[in-house]
Amino acid sequence: MSSVERTRIDTERNFLDVIDKVDEIDHTAVDTTHVFTVSQVYEGLLLKMGEKGNDGGQFFTPREIIRAMVRVIDPRIGETVYDPGCGTGGFLAQSFEQMTGAGNANITSGDQLTTLQEHTFYGREKDNAVYPIALANLVLHGIDAPHIWHGNTLTATAAYDGLFEGAPPLYDVILMNPPFGGKEGKDAQTRFAYKTGATQVLFLQHVIDSLRPPAGDEVTGGRCGLVIDEGVLFRTNETAFVRTKRKLLDDCDLWCILSMPPGVFSQARAGVKTNLLFFNKGRPTERIWYYDLSDLKVGKKTPFTLARMGDFFELVGDCRAGGAADRPDSERSWTVMRDAIEASNYDLKAVNPHRVVNEDTRTPEELLDEIERQQTIIAAAIAELRRL
């Protein structure tokens, strides 16, 4: 409850009663099926917070997007998973669910379960109200020791770091959705090589630096799935944006950019066009494989679901292989070489070369003639109505 300015537990007596009740809880008396149910109810409440546009919205990543990213990155037991802006802990909770498998089928020993519950999941969250929500969400999902650091990731200013003791400096897997459109002051910018007020660009630098390099005979090291707004991809007029993208391509294999439909984040009060980046640390990018879903219509009656990504999942393959060489082109997918990216000053925006654009080829004179013709038709219709 550190840094929480107010709470509904408004008397010392009530607070003592809560502590007594919590102290009475024994894990041997808790039915795991009940815990799973409560965790799903809790996630449902977080979803409603995002849909209603109140305080939870800015921290909510649509569950289907989280599932898609976790499915592609495919974290395994024994790997560390990190989210430097974890919000309510959605990426970490979903990673735990995937790593345990249906009915804990992936767990073959008690040591593996202990590793998952106590030495796998790490995150950072700045917001005072959301930090305890994240802890509750992860505990309800079965993560006994969620290592969540409370403070500003970009300034490294901690409000409470007691749960982060012993955390590794580098990670096997990073999954994240950085805040859209945030602005950071000089206290945050001074910690990064490429200085900008754009929060998402600073987070991208932090993520690159937090991935572990290859070990031993590995070709690639840590891997990442990241939500990024389209402005970061196409902006070439600010030095920090260009240099950060160049750093990404120099230090990592950015093997996939998935262009998302415009409406996927509308329930979380964000109408920004987004993309999903997938990259591995340890070797430079030679080519990028793009996949385009931007033409899909997303709304309340047509929500975004994993079923609409079936073709993508079939083509994407094993993320550990990295590289775009073996991923085929299709009506929705294509490959761009590194030299073309450099020639465009690191403009990474997805522009589908296979999409047919209905272009109006009429000259200005022809358009003016058409306008005059339509005006004549309208004038005749109005005259007819006046005679009635």
374-385 pLDDT tens trace:
999 999 999 989
Q: Is residue 272 part of a domain?
A: yes
Residue 146 tokens, joined: 């969620």
Task: List, edge to edge, every strand of the sheet that includes 81-83.
Answer: 157-160, 147-152, 121-125, 81-83, 173-176, 223-229, 274-281, 252-259, 287-292, 333-337
pLDDT of residue 44: 61
Q: Is residue 94 part of a domain?
A: yes
pLDDT of residue 7: 63
- Our CA angle for 90, 93, 98, nearest 5°, is 120
Domain of 244, CATH number, reads: 3.40.50.150
Q: Which residues contact 127 (CB under 8 A, 6 or more apart)?
A: 59, 87
Residue 192: domain span = 32-361
DSSP state of 61: P
Q: How far apart are CA 88 and CA 149, in angstroms?
A: 13
Q: Is residue 205 part of a domain?
A: yes
pLDDT of residue 325: 65
Beta-sheet pairing, 252-259 with 287-292: parallel
Q: Is residue 369 part of a domain?
A: no
Q: How far apart are CA 101 and CA 96, in angstroms?
A: 8
Q: Is residue 267 part of a domain?
A: yes
3-class secondary structure, 338: helix
Q: Is residue 379 part of a domain?
A: no
Half-sphere exposure of 263 (CA within 13 A, CB side): 12
pLDDT of residue 161: 94
Q: How far apart are CA 128 and CA 218, in angstroms?
A: 40
> What pTM was computed for the model?
0.81
pLDDT of residue 222: 95
pLDDT tens per residue, range 149-174: 999 999 999 999 999 999 999 999 99
pLDDT tens per residue, range 99-138: 987 555 677 788 888 999 999 999 999 988 889 889 988 9
Q: Is residue 26 part of a domain?
A: no
- The number of angstroms, rounded, from the C-alpha of 337 to the middle of its chain's C-alpha atoms is 25
- E strand or H helix at 324: none
Q: Is residue 198 part of a domain?
A: yes
Instruction: Domain count for the chain, please give it.
Output: 1
Low-confidence ranges of the chain (pLDDT < 50): 34-36, 52-59, 268-269
